[in-house]
Amino acid sequence: KNEVEQSPQNLTAQEGEFITINCSYSVGISALHWLQQHPGGGIVSLFMLSSGKKKHGRLIATINIQEKHSSLHITASHPRDSAVYICAAHRMYSGGGADGLTFGKGTHLIIQP
């Protein structure tokens, strides 16, 4: 079982729909990142959070530390939101040196006009 699990793997929706992507993790973390990857590889950081909720434009990210769960929401979705959305966890520092991010497999989102 992966340490970071995302659902759904694929999501197709109509323009204007409210989108939710879920991320669950099985290890203690110090931060959770939501990233967006477009075809061709470029990755853009959307959010980094360790508690609560963050909002940027039409995007909202929440995290529940007790339940080890985070969600990314997109309101009023638009075809330009079509991309792969990835959650990535930074594991709690173990004292043995820095860890990089542990990535989920991503959610392929397609917004149809």
Q: Which is nearer to other proteins, 67 or 98 (CB)?
A: 98
Whether residue 27 contacts residue 89, with contact meaning beta carbons closer than 8 Å, is answered with yes
Give the binding-site size for other proteins (rule: CB under 8 A): 25
Return phi, psi of residue 92, to 5°: -60, 135
Whether residue 61 contacts residue 34, with contact meaning beta carbons closer than 8 Å, is answered with yes
Instruction: Return the residue of 21, 85, 90, 109 that touches other proteins, per CB under 8 A.
Output: 90
Give the footprint of other proteins on this chain (CB under 8 A): 30-31, 33, 35, 40-45, 48, 50, 86, 88, 90, 97-106
